[in-house]
Amino acid sequence: MNLQDFNIKIYPLKDKIFRFAKRMLEQTEEAEDIVQEVFIRMWKQREKLDEYRSLEALAMVTTKNLCLDKLKARKFPVESWNGQRQFIEAIAEEIRPDYSDIIAGVKEAMSSLPEQPRMIIHLRDIEGYGFDEIAEILGMQENAVRVALSRARKHIREILITNRSYEYQRN
């Protein structure tokens, strides 16, 4: 694979990788770092890339692994700093006019999901991947993906119902 192939086949994945990383890390800067890291890793093994069936799946697997590593490394010490970061980003989101409270509630509900169902619902409902692709990226059985997806969707629905009842109480 030469630079031109790389630019055609892998570079356009940058937004997908970014969104996936941001969903996992909930932080723009770190997600941007992950994108470049994934590109570098892919470039380093460019000789072997032709052997892979799906470069997109490979890129997403790499993203997933890097994000999980980062989350593992993060655990406690950075928590407070990360909280601040999230607060600043929340303010930035509020400035966006189309980002209503209710949609922010969905985002919160997504954040409350554990890593795996969050990845599944992101890959399916935001990126529109098929079950086979999700199974490949996450290293799961297709059926398990389906079950986890259903559970995650219902979990979000529960939160939406609770939020709405609060809103009724307020009004």
Q: What tokens appear for 14 in the block?
A: 């940058």
Sites for another protein among residues 119-138 (CB under 8 A):
124-128, 130
Alpha carbons 39 and 155: distance in angstroms, whole number: 34
Burial class (CB in 10 A: 0-12, 13-18, 19+), 145: buried
| Binding to another protein, residues 87-116 (CB under 8 A) | 98-100, 102-103, 105-107, 110
Q: Per CB under 8 A, does 156 bind another protein?
A: yes
**Closest CB to another protein among residues 79, 93:** 93
Question: In angstroms, rounded to a whole number, what is the distance separating the alpha carbons of residues 32 and 49?
Answer: 23
The token pair at 81 is 């700093």
For residues 50-79, which are near another protein according to CB under 8 A? none
The amino acid sitting at 132 is D
Q: Which residues bind another protein (CB under 8 A)?
A: 14-15, 18-19, 22, 31-33, 35-37, 39-40, 98-100, 102-103, 105-107, 110, 124-128, 130, 146-147, 149-150, 153-154, 156-157, 160-161, 164
